[in-house]
A and B are shown apart, each in its own frame.
Chain A
C-alpha cells in the first residue's frame, strides 16, 4: 500500500471535518477521492500532506509518517496560485528546492517539464505574463517538479477550458502509465469514470462508498439492458417495460431475469440486434443518489 489512513479524525472547534475515515491507496493506481463540497476531502488531503495534524487516527505514506515523505509526494491544491513576479523557470526551481532537490537537478528537471507542458520559451518570463491556461499548466508542472511517487490532484480540471482540460487529462494518463500513484479529487464525474481505478466517496467526513469503480457501478446498475435495433416485438420474455431513448430501447427486466436469456429471446424472435449492453449507470447518478440518501 502506498497510503494507509486509519480511523482519521479531524475537528475544527466543534465541527467534525473528518470522522473516523479509513482507506488505502494502492501503488500505481488512480484513486478517486470524491464527495460534495465540505465533505472533508481537502482536509483529508491536507492531513496526508502533513499540512494539518490529525486529532485521532493514523496516516502513513510509503510506510512512513507524512512529514517524513514530503519529498516523495506531489500536490496540486484546490486553492492554488504562483509567485506572480517571479520568472517561470525560477518558480519551478524554488519549489523543487523546497522539496529537497539540488539546484542543478532542479534546473534540469524544470527545463524538461517546461518542454513537456509546452512553456519552454516562457521560462525567462514572469508568471504574471502567462495566460490563465498557461499558469494552470505551470501549477500542474510544479506538483511534479521533484518527480514524486505519489501525486495528489485536488480539482485539477477546475477553471480549465476544454483544450487545457484535455491536456491535463492526457498528462495524468501518461503519469499513470509511468507507474505513478495518483489521488484525484474532482467533482467532474466523467473524468473520474475515464481515469480512476478505485474510488472513495465521503460525505460529512465519513466514507459512504469505497472500492473498485467497475464493481460499484455494477452494484448500482439498474436491472435493465440497452438494445439498439430497428424495432422490438411486444411481450419479450423476461421484460416488464420498454422505453425508447435516443434511437435505442431501454428494457427493464423482470425480477430474476437474466440479461443473456433476454438477448437469446430477442434473437430467437428474429430481432436484428445491432448493440446490446447491460444498462450502465452514470457515476454522477450514484453520487447524487448516495449523498441524497445520506442526507435524507
Chain B
C-alpha cells in the first residue's frame, strides 16, 4: 500500500466534497437551528413559565362558554368561579339552539347515570376534534371534579383532585447518579443525545452516499481508468473511505460543538436547570459506532458503487444495505418505550443493523455491556470481510461498462481472480 497515494486521494475527496452545496446545507442545519433556539430563547428569556402557559392554552377547548345540560343533579347549580365558562340549559334542544347561534362553543350532556358510568355526550359544530379535546381539557375536568366533590372534602384536597399532577422526570443510572432533573434537564439529557445519534446515523448515510456517488461519477465519466492506471484500486478505495469519513467527522464535529454551544446558551437564556452537555458515555460510544458503522457501510457502498454502470444503478445496488441500516429507524417508537427489548438486542448483533441500532439505543438507556462489547466485536470482524469482498468487487467492477453484472456474475467475481 502506497500511503502517499492514499493521502493524495484522501485530500482530493475531502476537498472536492466539502464544497458540495448539499454537504454545506446539511452541516449548517444544526447551527442554524441552534441560532433559532437562541433567538427564541432570548425573546422569551425569564418567561419560561409563561411559555408553558402559552403552549397549554393552545390545547384548551376554546374561548366561548360551554353549555351544560345536566340530568344527574350534580351540575345544575354552577359554582361562581365557573360561571364565565359554563352556562346551564334546561334541555338539550335549547342548548343546541344556543350552539347553532354560536353563543356557546359546545354542549356537555350529562346523563342521570353519570356517577355510575361517567358518560358525557359532547355536542359541537363542525370538527369533531374540539369535542374530542374536551376529554383532555383541564378546565372541564376541574369543573366536573369541583362540582362532584363540592362540599364533601377540604378545598385544597378538592383542588388537588381537580388538577393533574405536575410531573417532574428524574432518571437515575444503575450507579445511582441522577441523569436528568426537571423537564428541561430530561430533554437535555435524553432528547439531545438521541437527536445527536440520529444525526450520526444520518451522517453515516450521507458520507457513504458521497462515496457511492464519487465512485459512480468516476466510473460514469470514464476517468476511473486513468486513475486506476496510477493507483491500486485498494489504495483508491482506502483514500475515498478515509477522505469521506473525515468529511463526515467534520460534520459531526460542527454539530456537536454547535449543540453544546447553543444548548448552553439556550439553558442560560431560558434560566432553567438541567444538564447542558452530552454524556461522555454517549459521546464516546457514538463516535465509536459512527466510525465502525461508516467504515463498514462505506466499504460495501464502494464495492456496490463500482458495480453499477450509472449513478442510478449504483444507488439501486446499494439500496439493500441502506434498507438494513434503516430497520432500527422503523422501530424507533418501540425503542423509545424500551431501548433494551429483545428485538433491539438481537439486531445489535447483526452487522448491517448493529451501528444504527446501537447509536439509537445508547442515548436512551444504559445498554448492557455485553451488547456494547458484542456489537463492537461483530463490527470489527465484519469490516475485514467487507473489505475483502468490497475491494474485489471494486477492482473488477470499475472496468465493467455498459452492462450491470448479474448476481451470478457478482458471485463469480467474488470467487475468481481479478
Contact = CB atoms under 8 A, between A and B. Distances in A.
11 contacts: A46-B399, A51-B229, A70-B231, A73-B229, A79-B225, A80-B226, A82-B221, A95-B227, A98-B227, A98-B231, A100-B5
- Nearest 7 A-B pairs (CB), nearest first? A81-B222, A81-B221, A98-B230, A77-B225, A75-B229, A97-B8, A49-B229
B24 to A, nearest CB: 15
Given A70-B229, A70-B230, A98 B418 contact: no
B77 interface: no
A86 interface: yes
A84 B223 CA distance: 10
B152 interface: no
Interface of A: 13, 46, 49-53, 55, 67, 70, 73, 75, 77, 79-86, 94-95, 97-100, 139, 142-143
A51 B228 contact: yes
B226 A75 contact: yes
Contacts of A81: 221-223
Contact of A84 (B221, B228, B229, B417): B221
A188 B204 CA distance: 49
A270 B9 CA distance: 75
A50 B228 CA distance: 9
Contacts of B229: 49-51, 70, 73, 75, 77
A13 B412 contact: yes
A13 B409 CA distance: 9
Most A Cβ at <10 Å: residue of B8, B9, B416: B8
A92 B17 CA distance: 18
Given A52-B418, A55-B417, A75-B229, A80 B223 contact: yes
B47 interface: no
B226 A142 contact: yes
A80 B222 contact: yes
Interface of B: 4-5, 8-9, 12, 16, 218, 221-223, 225-232, 399, 401, 412, 416-418
A97 B226 CA distance: 13
Nearest to B409: A13
B5 A80 contact: no
Nearest to B402: A79
Contacts of A70: 229-231
Given A46-B399, A75-B225, A80-B223, 17 more contacts: A52-B399, A52-B418, A70-B230, A75-B229, A77-B229, A79-B225, A80-B225, A81-B222, A82-B223, A83-B223, A84-B221, A85-B16, A94-B12, A95-B226, A98-B8, A98-B9, A139-B226
B5 A79 contact: no
A139 B223 CA distance: 9
A99 B222 contact: no
A95 B418 contact: no
B134 to A, nearest CB: 60
Nearest to B228: A51
A100 B221 contact: no
A269 B267 CA distance: 116
B230 A83 contact: no
Contacts of A49: 229
A77 B232 contact: no
B261 to A, nearest CB: 33
Nearest to B20: A85
A51 B230 contact: no
A100 B230 CA distance: 9
B238 to A, nearest CB: 13
Most A Cβ at <10 Å: residue of B8, B222, B226, B401: B226
B223 A100 contact: no
B114 to A, nearest CB: 73
A244 to B, nearest CB: 48
Contacts of A97: 8
Most A Cβ at <10 Å: residue of B4, B9, B232, B399: B399
